[in-house]
Homo-oligomer: A and B are copies of this chain.
Amino acid sequence: MSTLHTVNKSPFEKTSLAACLEHVSAGAAVLLLEDGVYAALTRTSVEGQVKSALDNVKVYALGPDLQARGLLEERVIPGISVVDYAGFVDLAAEHDKVQAWL
């Protein structure tokens, strides 16, 4: 099945992104939201981890959360798509289920 995984915690504070990426199946998607969007930035200590994930899964970041945190889209890792809440709903509908990594 195709799953939308959601990660809402900073990869510098919690291990939930790492745990998620170790359990995603090919064809899955990962949506970064809330403090999870920090993982979408370039030049961070987790950039390599996120870039590797892009080989297997699609990665999305929630635009409103990027904007709130002062993160410009030009700082987002190429290959990560920015979506709004309507896009989040679309992703939830397009995939067979949503799995939250709290």
Interface residues, chain A, with chain B CB atoms under 8 Å away? 12-15
Report Cα–Cα, A13/B11, bound state, in Å.
11
Chain B residue numbers with a CB within 8 Å of A14 are 13-15
Interface of A is mostly: loop
Report Cα–Cα, A18/B15, bound state, in Å.
13
The 6 nearest A-B residue pairs measured at CB = A14-B14, A13-B15, A13-B14, A12-B15, A14-B15, A15-B15
Chain B residue numbers with a CB within 8 Å of A15 are 12-15
Chain B residue numbers with a CB within 8 Å of A12 are 15
Chain B residue numbers with a CB within 8 Å of A13 are 14-15
Report Cα–Cα, A15/B38, bound state, in Å.
15
